[in-house]
Structure 1
Amino acid sequence: MNAFHPIDVILHKRDGLALSDEEIRGFIRAIVERTPDCQLVTDAQIAALLMAIFLQGLDSRELATLTSAMRSSGDVFDAAPLKTFMVDKHSTGGVGDKTSLLIAPILAAAGLAHLTDEGVPGICVPMISGRSLGHTGGTLDKLETIPGFNSQIDLKQLAETLRICGAALIGQTPRIVPADRTLYALRDHTGTVESPFLITASIMSKKLAESLNALVLDVKVGSGAFMPTYERSQQLATLMVETGEAAGTHTVALLTGMDEPLGRFSGNWVEVWECVDIMQGRWHPMSADLIELSNILAGWMLHLAGRAPSPEAGSEMADSILRSGDAYKAWLRIVQAQGGDISVFEDPAAHHKPAAKRVLKAEQTGYLSSMNCKQAGWAVQRLGAGRTKPGDPVSAHAGIESHVKLGSRIERGQALFTLFSEDEALLEEPEQMLRAALSIGQTPPKLLPLVREVVSTESIQRQK
């Protein structure tokens, strides 16, 4: 092996040259192996390479190698002993996006209905989730409002939970893709967060560490999406699908609308409450879009797992599982297996205890024609439900309830949102932010479908 010189790697990428597999693997290895006494590569050098990648990009081989090197930088889940089909879903993040809380138990119920010869669910969902940051919510913050719920289980405990329940909802441990922790922290400080190549490597390395057979990606588009334009979201979806397929994981991406908060509630406990209501058969009109998207994504997962002949048939199967109560039974098994107190689900509304709330009312009559969904997400964050930097505490009971959706007919004085917080002083700014985010027109707007596009290997080939 040639001697590793980080400056050579930086200069090669800075000058627009393709990095060799050896250069990429050497750089990632140097990041993980460095110690306070032995700095094979410095933070300054890592930051320089991040900026070079941000400006020059990566070709498909480089991206696949970077993702693979990051995946292998720490522990990788060994799914082979389970002898089951491993499938997961990942969302690029949005406001009120709580589909994971419905999809995991839907797939778990489907897997439990088809046990393997070893008595393991025929489908397993090893869902590694993240925390809220910026205007987007985090699945772990929602789950951890359940008393006793433990999201920080190790890979041995993950295997046992999957064996019993068919799904697990966990956080990234320090030993899963440790290279990403260093790169992510420096991206946040070097203006390189928005690189689609670095985003792809970060997301896909963690998902591929689950040893998946298939992956469904929910890539958001619209005013609340992470990527600024539809074209950038398309590019990100394409890169992730190509990277997943190159790693041997059947990958499909759906571009879905994030022009308004998804479902009825946006926050932490309130989103758990909404999902529990749905699984218990209490379907609120404001949750219709959440139910639709969850069934669509679960349908694709069931199709890729071979349980449904088409995504549409899979969606119908998911809806049936949700309505039957089987998803709720699977949910209780998962929560109990991870230490959660399931008694709070007997009356989830009673567990919602904000110290202060305020109703935002319409100042004119018309139709809700548009919304700056990112602004709405920041309002939820300012109420205390989110964080501005990793490590910030979040409120369990802060958030908003939506009383209208895009296209709704609105009368002057009608309730549009209810704001919740654990501090009365935090209500004023979010109320003004929400009011500024809304546009009320005199004619009904043209509404776009929830799923805008499906990106797959076949669709990518047609584009070429």
Structure 2
Amino acid sequence: MNIHPIDVILHKRDGLTLTDDEIRALVRAIVERTPDRQLVTDAQIAALLMAIFLRGLDPRELATLTSAMRFSGDTFDAAPLHTFTIDKHSTGGVGDKTSLLIAPILAAAGLAHPTTSGVPGICVPMISGRSLGHTGGTLDKLETIPGFNTQLNLQQLADTLRKCGAALIGQTPRIVPADRTLYALRDHTGTVESPFLITASIMSKKLAESLNALVLDVKVGSGAFMPTYEKSKFLAELMVRTGESAGTRTAALLTSMDEPLGRFSGNWIEVWECVDIMQNKRHPMSADLIELSNILSGWMLHLAGHASNPEEGAKLSDQILQSGEAYKAWLRIIEAQGGDISVFDAPATRHKPSATRVLKASRSGYLASMDCKQVGWAVQRLGAGRAKPGDPVSAQAGIESHAKLGNRIEQGQQLFTLFSEDAALLNEPEQMLLDTIVIADAPPTVAPLIRETITAASLGK
């Protein structure tokens, strides 16, 4: 049966339900087209994206679109590793560096409890992204480590997982190629915020890892990608349903992003913060980062059968961190992917910004609020992020937070230290931070770190 793109566009435009054949044919046409053979044009793809943005997708349509995208290119086969394969995904935030802790925690747990075959009982094929907009990117942080290779092919990924229990890599050109085309056009057509298209994009890449389970960190608050709590929750529910329908146990935690997570926001400085934690040097400003990392790891350990419940898993996670086993696993991963582990002997000495500025409190009171997205943009303007794909990023740029929401602040107290490799870049971010920080007379009500948890059970599946 021939499927004509214009018919599919009209069906969705008019609110009709697309068939599985229509969805699969469109995805196949996107992947198989060449400059000389346009099976579907950019204009037609853009029109379909807008129709989906306006009309949405029902659960079957979304599951079919996600599956078609997942299998549009190469997929990772974890079966030969004989492990429980699990990953974590965050919708992105400011100072969100939990992946750098979670991967070695889970790797250490897997190596501590090997299967009878001698292969780690857990493996974490963590495919990460780069910074864009106000959010940071795990790959940009990792690439501040000299020699570290994030561009492993699937065989190298398997070899690293077999040796280390975890790997931290970027998406290859052949993993979910349909998403590359769709994402680029979403960015140009005002359809980026569609929860259905976001779900298909995220879940197709994660499911291509051949996962047994997935834990999602869906941000809520002023620094979140989705503008309201309700929309963040709806996205979390869509992703959980989509993962479960594909046979992957999926849990989503709605977590607060009303201020930067942890002490540092940037690239190398976030690596430094995580290395300090793994070396059991716990700065007070890193407490929320440690707590969230343990909670997310706890869920992963629970789903992998290493803990009877998520709370027990979180305790095990913290034990692994404090024991130094996570740091040993981290060194194995970095070395296996070509990184120079000697830089972790004194990570603070590698932070050499050429320009710094300290922002101090103009009055006494309580740190009441900030627009965390604005803080993220300040980090980006200092040079740590990118406005569009391909922009260079600075290893040294970023901010250090000296206070958390709800803290009592005295006039003249340090609130942020700004770092850049160009003194001319300090002025605008400083003003952005000054404009968004609110110091009040009364202590604010601070939202809990974990707002809600979405699972198949909570959705009634």
Confirm or deny that 1:165 pairs with 2:200.
no
Counterparts of 1:303-382 in structure 2 under 5 Å? 303-382=302-381
Aligned-residue sequence identity (percent) comes to 80
SS of the residue 2:209 aligns to: coil
Deviation at 1:298, TM superposition (A): 0.0
SS of the residue 1:124 aligns to: strand
Partner of residue 32, structure 2: 33
> Normalising to structure 1: TM-score of the pair?
0.99
Partner of residue 126, structure 1: 125
Confirm or deny that 1:293 pairs with 2:292.
yes
Residues 356-391 of structure 1 show CA distances to partners (whole Å, capped at 9, x for unaligned) of 000000101100011100000000000000001111
Q: Provide the rounded CA distance (Å) in 2 between the counterparts of 1:154 and 1:437.
A: 43
Q: Any runs of at least 4 consecutive aligned residues in structure 1 with deviations exceeding 3 A, and if so which?
A: none
What amino acid maps onto 2:208 in structure 1? Answer: A
Partner of residue 209, structure 1: 208
Counterparts of 1:3-402 in structure 2 under 5 Å? 3-402=2-401
Q: Provide the rounded CA distance (Å) in 2 between the counterparts of 1:26 and 1:450.
A: 43
Partner of residue 438, structure 2: 439
SS of the residue 1:359 aligns to: strand
Q: Provide the rounded CA distance (Å) in 1 between the counterparts of 2:131 and 2:203.
A: 18
68-77 or 444-453, larger mean C-alpha shift: 444-453
Partner of residue 452, structure 1: 451
SS of the residue 1:225 aligns to: coil
Residues 273-323 of structure 1 show CA distances to partners (whole Å, capped at 9, x for unaligned) of 000000001000000000000000000000000100000000000000000
99-108 or 115-124, larger mean C-alpha shift: 115-124
Q: Provide the rounded CA distance (Å) in 2 between the counterparts of 1:124 and 1:360.
A: 43
Deviation at 1:72, TM superposition (A): 0.1
Deviation at 1:118, TM superposition (A): 2.5
Q: Provide the rounded CA distance (Å) in 2 between the counterparts of 1:152 and 1:117.
A: 31
What amino acid maps onto 2:174 in structure 1? Answer: R
SS of the residue 1:461 aligns to: coil
Deviation at 1:4, TM superposition (A): 2.0
Deviation at 1:117, TM superposition (A): 2.5
Residues 415-464 of structure 1 show CA distances to partners (whole Å, capped at 9, x for unaligned) of 100000000000000000011111000011112210000001111129xx
Q: Provide the rounded CA distance (Å) in 1 between the counterparts of 2:50 and 2:208.
A: 26
Q: Provide the rounded CA distance (Å) in 2 between the counterparts of 1:8 and 1:118.
A: 52
Q: Provide the rounded CA distance (Å) in 2 between the counterparts of 1:316 and 1:227.
A: 31
SS of the residue 1:127 aligns to: strand
What amino acid maps onto 1:341 in structure 2? Answer: D
Q: Which runs of 5+ in 2 are unaligned?
A: none
Q: Provide the rounded CA distance (Å) in 2 between the counterparts of 1:389 and 1:460.
A: 37
Q: Provide the rounded CA distance (Å) in 2 between the counterparts of 1:135 and 1:450.
A: 20
Q: Provide the rounded CA distance (Å) in 2 between the counterparts of 1:53 and 1:446.
A: 38
Q: Provide the rounded CA distance (Å) in 1 between the counterparts of 2:220 and 2:167.
A: 28
SS of the residue 2:400 aligns to: strand
SS of the residue 1:242 aligns to: helix
Residues 44-95 of structure 1 show CA distances to partners (whole Å, capped at 9, x for unaligned) of 0000000000000000000000000000000000111011100000000000
